[in-house]
Structure 1
Amino acid sequence: MTTMAVIPEGPLLDDAAGRLVRPYTVSGGRTRPTSKLDLLSMVKSTGRVKHTQLGIDHAEALGLCSDPISVAEVSAHLRLPATVTKVLLSDLVDCGAVTAGEPGPAADPNDVPLLEAVLNGLQRRL
């Protein structure tokens, strides 16, 4: 099980400055996830790990996974680069907090209209 550092409470986002904690700090300097995840991978909480057992970024990511959600959506909600989000989510997979799976058959990674819809949704969120 991966040890997840607890970050002191306080604002992680500043409206004017953006994220106050650098992405490499969130991922512990790691750049590669231990689980195979892509932007369309679906993650869902298992309910086996409590938010209070995790660091703030891991807990925030876990909170988004109560229903199946894509890695891309988690990344957009957290305002983190996809690579950092994949590292966080793979930590959660490793400790049994979330399960990860391939997208359903309806999600073709070469489906241009689908990808455009995802991009438009992400842009609206940011």
Structure 2
Amino acid sequence: MTDRWFDDAAGPVVRPYAMTRGRTRSATGSRIDPVALVVAETPAGSAEARPPASPGGVGTAGAAGGTGVLGPEHLDIVARCRRAPQPVAELAAVLDLPVGVVRVLVGDLVEAELVRVTRPVPPAELPDERILRDVINGLRAL
């Protein structure tokens, strides 16, 4: 028996709203930018070996009798981000989930302190391209 049920035409039977339990925002309420990087927190001790506790009651319907373990999508996100930081949009593409669903799942993981999100630098705070070219030209002149 397979872990996931598929309908050839429709894809996975579990709908995105079921993964987030109908929520459109995480418990923290913060809106996560699609280009923000998700970085896995370094586990304390041997936390990698055991499934983390659920943030705010999030869990799979039948997992361990509803004990509150994270769903498989949460664990997939943490595993991918342990290998390398991932943008939210990239996680959505790789996991084949809507960006809105991934935002909620990442918010749950932030609340559980399993990942952190680094905000993108606003364009107004980026250095001017002309200044960077002048610096490069100055370094080449040395």
Q: Identify if the C-alpha distance between structure 1 residues 13 and 47 changes in structure 2 by more than 3 Å, giving closer, same or farther.
A: farther
Q: Give the paired residue count.
A: 98
Q: After superposition, where does 1:46-85 map in structure 2 within 5 Å?
A: 46-48=41-43, 50=48, 52-53=51-52, 54-66=70-82, 67-85=84-102
**Structure 1 residue 36 displacement after superposition:** 3.1
**TM-score if structure 2 supplies the norm length?**
0.60
Superimposed CA distance per residue, residues 20-76 of structure 1 (whole angstroms, 9 cap, x where no aligned partner): 210000011101233331110111110335462322111011112111110000111
Counterpart code for 1:11: R
Identity %: 39
- Higher Rg of the two aligned structures: 2
Stretches of structure 1 that go unaligned for 5 or more consecutive residues are 1-8, 109-126
Q: Does 1:100 align with 2:117?
A: yes
Query: Do residues 11 (structure 1) and 7 (structure 2) align?
Result: no
Corresponding letter in the other structure for 2:38: V
Give the root-mean-square deviation of aligned CA atoms.
2.2
- In the alignment, the residues of structure 2 paired with residue 47 and residue 98 of structure 1 have an alpha-carbon distance, to the nearest angstrom, of 9
Segments of 5+ residues of structure 2 without an aligned counterpart are: 53-69, 124-142
Alpha-carbon shift at residue 90 of structure 1 (Å): 0.3
Deviations 1:56-111 (A, max 9, x none): 11101111211111000011111111111000000000000001011357xx5xxx
SS of corresponding position for 1:88:
helix
- CA distance in 2 between counterparts of 1:13 and 1:78 reads 15
Amino acid at match of 2:13: L
**TM-score w.r.t. length of structure 1:** 0.67
